[in-house]
Structure 1
């Protein structure tokens, strides 16, 4: 049985429409938006053709991918990376999230690498990965992913693409990255 066979055909069709191509290596829908659409899929560490694919959680909802791209373009990652260097508690959470990500992926198949995604554990490289990870695992696992989701909620996605009860930027104590000169 292929990995895709464990996911409904309706979900695979919806994901294909979201991505504009057939999905690969889908093991499950790990996050579904409040309006019922797949938002994050868990993928096999190795695709059916044998290609390694270390991205465990993959963002599929175009509303979320657009928002992650918007945040990246706005330079949010620079501020987050700077905070990793300045805040030992934040850095510890990021390292723990990295180790959890690897452990979960390795339970499926060990690729023999310590690459997780999103730049973990030293820097913030991809908000798509961090947002997907936070949504799949829920708040409290990967703090910077939680923050990216909270910022997406404030950008108008709360209650349709994102949970209505996701912690707010204020509840998470997110700095206003627009006010920081990190360029």
Structure 2
């Protein structure tokens, strides 16, 4: 078993994620990516939720501005363009397959769930299904791991380098929650 690159979440982090989602956060095992102010942007979630539901989306995008940006991209029909990259560029397709394998390897230490064996998220490794999941993976794994997630982030109006947290009282360690930049 490998050690995850994040510590278990604190009660305060779970409260922030719950505020971001507008509901109680479930199955969170760590904060996989953060806003520049320290607030959660991506959570890592157990592959089986506490109620027993299989949950393949290990990296779950929670930051409201980031999720809105991915929703905007999906609404503007950018997904067929990104899918065409997989069909037209073998290097991107190969990198996307490697991203799928890396995703599965990251999730494996948190439990094997037969119902989702071999299933990652976002349509990997052969299609583009959910930019939220792909951007979440790209943010958690870092640039260069998930080429479609990286491209979605590049095309969005949101940046992980600029704080857009607007949830009053939800900042970690006294970080400001106002929009900057």
| Common fold: TM-score over 0.5 | yes
Partner residue, 2:149: 145
Distance of aligned partners of 1:81 and 1:16 in 2 relative to their CA distance in 1, 3 Å threshold: same
Q: How many residues are aligned here? A: 156
C-alpha deviation, 1:156, in angstroms: 5.0
> CA–CA distance in 2 between the matches of 1:161 and 1:86?
35
Q: CA deviation at 1:68?
A: 0.4
Give the direction of change, closer, same or farther, for the CA distance of 1:33–1:88 in structure 2 (3 Å limit): same
Q: Deviations over 1:135-177 (max 9, x none)?
A: 001101001111111222xx25353249xxxxxxxxxxxxxxx
Task: Give the match's secondary structure for 2:49.
Answer: coil
Deviations 1:98-119 (A, max 9, x none): 1111122122211232111101
2:132 is aligned to 128
Task: Quote the offset at 1:6 in angstroms.
Answer: 2.9
Superposed CA deviations along residues 23-52 of structure 1, whole A, max 9, x for unmatched, are 000000111101221100000011112211
Task: Point out the structure with the larger helix share.
Answer: 1
Question: What pairs with 1:1-183 in structure 2 (closer than 5 Å)?
Answer: 6-112=8-114, 113-152=117-156, 155-157=157-159, 159-161=161-163
In structure 2, the partner of 1:173 is: none
Relative to the length of structure 2, the TM-score reads 0.81
Q: Which gives a bigger RCO, structure 1 or 2 (Cα 8 Å, sep 6+)?
A: 2
TM norm structure 1: 0.81
Kindly indicate whether the alpha-carbon contact (under 8 Å) linking 2:35 and 2:160 is maintained by their aligned counterparts in 1. Answer: no
Question: What stretches of structure 2 of length at least 5 have no aligned partner?
Answer: 1-6, 165-181
Asked whether the 8 Å contact 1:63–1:161 carries over to 2, the reply is: no
- CA RMSD in angstroms comes to 1.6
Q: Distance in 1 between matches of 2:32 and 2:160?
A: 18
